[in-house]
């Protein structure tokens, strides 16, 4: 029989505890798939007394995750601490420098330091870096891009990459409630953190998008190039107006290759109700990959949660135990292209909501502000209202984000404008 493959786990929150439970309770099945016995030998967490669903006395306890990472008693280090800096980064660096395999669910760490960590893994005998659980939870998005789509020239990767935002937008659709109330409900249910900024601000999705874009386009990871806009300003009025036109609002991450470089953006968009991404509701995630050979392929499933994400962790554990350790981003770090960006690539039809004084000439003033930037109106609707404020929704013909931003500034400066205009791209996926 092969020697056991010894595993250390740092961080026993929802995902870490679920991973430990599966490694204990389903050990025979998972070990058979790994081709050798898998054995957890060391663990680390902040609270030693908390119930994790298994007897922790069977494992060596480490107060310091870096000490666990360096321990001669493990072959693999699983990092579930979180955060792009501090002990998470230090422990992963220590494990790699010690020649160990590392599995991490830490998308912020990979998005900010993935290239350096991959280089360290390549330069250290026995080391390897794996991060399937960092993107889209239980959906095998990394393996699909890096291995399953290896024969394709990928043209675009897009998707619904944050279950919290999709839950909030879905609830706003079905209940008509405002963003703040639905967010509070999501926090009470555990779908949103006490500080929800990373989710509703679009940063969580942006971390995932940057990782996938690097693999899809064979270039250095470039989180700073992701244009990020969250869902905080999406109103019940926007949800209703979109529905009236046959659309749903979704927070979409889109990375695509253009003649000028690679465009990466995360922002709320209107997508047709019956489109592949428009059909995704609740906390479900979806990744749509478009390539020259396959056309389009979509993966859907739980984007978060203990056992769902632990499933992705264990897929990486099995790979590492079998010695299946491909280059982290599909190519050796030195072969990745220099990151290229095309921030001006966001072009198409846009939805716009403006709040105007209810008086003659206001619509003409708005049309003039749009026309000044070369924006043609496809349709315009003034909604029923009471009082002196008239809400108006506009759908433009194809234009650029830059032109829309300039037009919004023009409209906001008008005497007839009562609130900053809101705009969202309309996409067909």
Catalytic residue IDs:
208
Q: Half-sphere exposure of 410 toward its Cβ, with a 13 Å CA cutoff?
A: 17
Question: Strands 154-160 and 284-291: what pairing?
Answer: antiparallel
User: What span, in angstroms and rounded, lies between the C-alpha atoms of 32 and 374?
Assistant: 63
DSSP string, 4-71: PEEEEEE--SHHHHHHHHHHHHTHHHHHHHHTS-EEEEEEE-S-SSS--SS-GGGSEE-S-HHHHHH-
Find the angle CA(60)-CA(64)-CA(67) to the nearest 5 degrees.
75
For 95, the enclosing helix (H) or strand (E) is: helix 86-97
Task: Compute φ and ψ for 319, nearest 5 degrees.
Answer: -60, -50
DSSP 356: E
Rounded-to-integer distance, Cα 116 and Cα 36, Å? 30
Place of tokens 């870490």: 16
Q: What CA–CA distances, in Å, run from 117 to 93, 125, 390?
A: 7, 14, 54
Distances (CA, A) of 333 to 89, 117, 123, 129, 263: 19, 10, 11, 12, 21
Residue 181 phi, psi (nearest 5): -65, -40
* Separation in Å, CA 111 to CA 86, 115, 143, 207, 211: 15, 9, 17, 5, 6
- The string of DSSP letters for 129-198 reads EE-GGGSSTTS-HHHIIIIITTTS-EEEEEEE--HHHHHHHHHHHHH---HHHHHHHHHHHTSS-SS-HH
Q: Where are the alpha helices (DSSP H) in 245-361?
A: 306-322
3-state secondary structure 284-298: EEEEEEEECCCEEEE
- The Cα 40–Cα 30 span in angstroms is 13
């Amino acid at each position: 029989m092969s020697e056991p493959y010894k595993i250390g786990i740092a961080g026993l929150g929802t995902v870490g505890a679920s991973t430990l439970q599966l490694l204990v309770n389903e050990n025979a099945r998972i070990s058979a798939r790994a081709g050798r016995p898998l054995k957890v030998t060391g663990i680390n967490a902040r609270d030693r007394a908390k119930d994790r669903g298994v007897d922790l006395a069977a494992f060596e306890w480490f107060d310091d995750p870096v000490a666990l990472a360096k321990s001669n008693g493990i072959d693999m280090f699983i990092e579930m601490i979180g955060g792009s800096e501090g002990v998470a980064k230090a422990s992963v660096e220590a494990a790699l420098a010690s020649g160990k395999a590392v599995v991490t669910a830490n998308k912020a760490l990979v998005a900010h330091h993935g290239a350096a960590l991959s280089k360290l893994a390549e330069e250290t005998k026995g080391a390897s870096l794996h991060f399937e659980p960092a993107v889209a939870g239980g959906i095998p998005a990394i393996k699909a891009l890096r291995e399953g789509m290896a024969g394709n020239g990928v043209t675009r990767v897009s998707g619904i990459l944050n279950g919290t935002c999709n839950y909030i937008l879905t609830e706003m659709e079905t209940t008509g409630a405002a963003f703040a109330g639905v967010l509070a409900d999501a926090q009470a249910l555990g779908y949103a953190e006490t500080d929800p900024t990373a989710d509703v601000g679009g940063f969580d999705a942006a971390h995932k998008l940057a990782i996938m874009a690097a693999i899809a386009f064979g270039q250095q990871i470039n989180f700073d190039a992701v244009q990020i806009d969250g869902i905080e300003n999406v109103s019940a009025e926007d949800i209703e107006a979109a529905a009236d036109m046959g659309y749903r609002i979704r927070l979409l991450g889109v990375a695509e290759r253009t003649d000028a470089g690679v465009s990466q953006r995360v922002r709320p968009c209107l997508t047709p109700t019956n489109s592949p991404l428009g059909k995704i509701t609740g906390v479900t995630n979806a990744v749509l990959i478009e390539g020259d050979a396959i056309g389009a392929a979509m993966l859907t499933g739980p984007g978060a949660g203990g056992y769902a994400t632990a499933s992705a962790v264990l897929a990486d554990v099995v790979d590492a135990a079998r010695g299946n350790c491909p280059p982290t981003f599909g190519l050796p770090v030195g072969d990745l292209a220099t990151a290229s960006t095309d921030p001006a690539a966001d072009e198409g039809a846009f939805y716009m909501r403006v709040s105007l004084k209810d008086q003659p000439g206001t619509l003409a003033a708005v049309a003039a502000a749009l026309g000044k930037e070369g924006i043609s109106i496809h349709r315009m609707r003034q909604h029923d209202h009471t009082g002196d404020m008239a809400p108006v929704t506009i759908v433009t013909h194809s234009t650029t984000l830059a032109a829309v931003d300039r037009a919004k500034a023009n409209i906001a400066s008008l005497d007839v404008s009562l609130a900053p205009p809101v705009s969202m791209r309309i996409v067909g996926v």
